[in-house]
Amino acid sequence: MPITIALDAMGGDDAPLFVVNGTEIARARYPDAKFIMYGDERRIFPLLSKKKKLIECCEIRHTDAVVGPDDKPSQALRHGQESSMRKAIDAVASGEATGVVSAGNTGALMAMAKYVLKTVKGIDRPAIASFFPTIHGESTMLDLGANVECDSNNLVQFAVMGAAFARTVLGVECPSVALLNVGVEEMKGHEAVRSAAQVLHNSDFPFDFYGFVEGGDIALGTVDVVVTDGFTGNIALKATEGTAQLYSRFLRAAFKRSVFSRVGYLLAKPALDTLRHKLDPRVYNGAMFVGLNGVVVKSHGGTDATGFASAIGVAVDMVKGRYGDLILEDCERLSAPGQTLRQAAAS
Residues that bind a second copy (CB under 8 A): 133-135, 145, 148-149, 180-182, 189-190, 214-220, 228, 230-232, 234-247, 249-251, 253-255, 257-258, 260-261, 263-272, 274-275, 278-279
Amino acid at 78: R
At closest approach, how far in Å is the CB of 85 from a second copy?
20
At closest approach, how far in Å is the CB of 316 from a second copy?
28
Angstrom distance (rounded) from CA 102 to CA 88: 8
Q: Which is nearer to a second copy, 215 or 301 (CB)?
A: 215
Angstrom distance (rounded) from CA 247 to CA 304: 23
At closest approach, how far in Å is the CB of 343 from a second copy?
25
Pairing of strands 295-298, 287-290: antiparallel
Q: Which is nearer to a second copy, 78 or 247 (CB)?
A: 247
Collapse the DSSP code of 153 into the 3-class scheme (helix H, G, I; strand E, B; otherwise coil) and give the result: helix
Q: Which is nearer to a second copy, 29 or 250 (CB)?
A: 250
Q: Which is nearer to a second copy, 242 or 302 (CB)?
A: 242
At closest approach, how far in Å is the CB of 105 from a second copy?
13
Q: Which is nearer to a second copy, 202 or 261 (CB)?
A: 261
Angstrom distance (rounded) from CA 254 to CA 236: 27
Angstrom distance (rounded) from CA 115 to CA 95: 16
At closest approach, how far in Å is the CB of 73 from a second copy?
11
Amino acid at 177: V
- Non-local (6+) Cβ contacts of 242 within 8 A are none
Q: Which region holds residue 147: left if phi is over 0, alpha if psi is between -120 and 50, else beta?
A: beta
At closest approach, how far in Å is the CB of 270 from a second copy?
7
Q: Which is nearer to a second copy, 279 or 336 (CB)?
A: 279
Return the closest-CA partner of residue 294 out of 333, 323, 326, 316: 323
The answer to whether 59 touches 38, Cβ cutoff 8 Å, is no
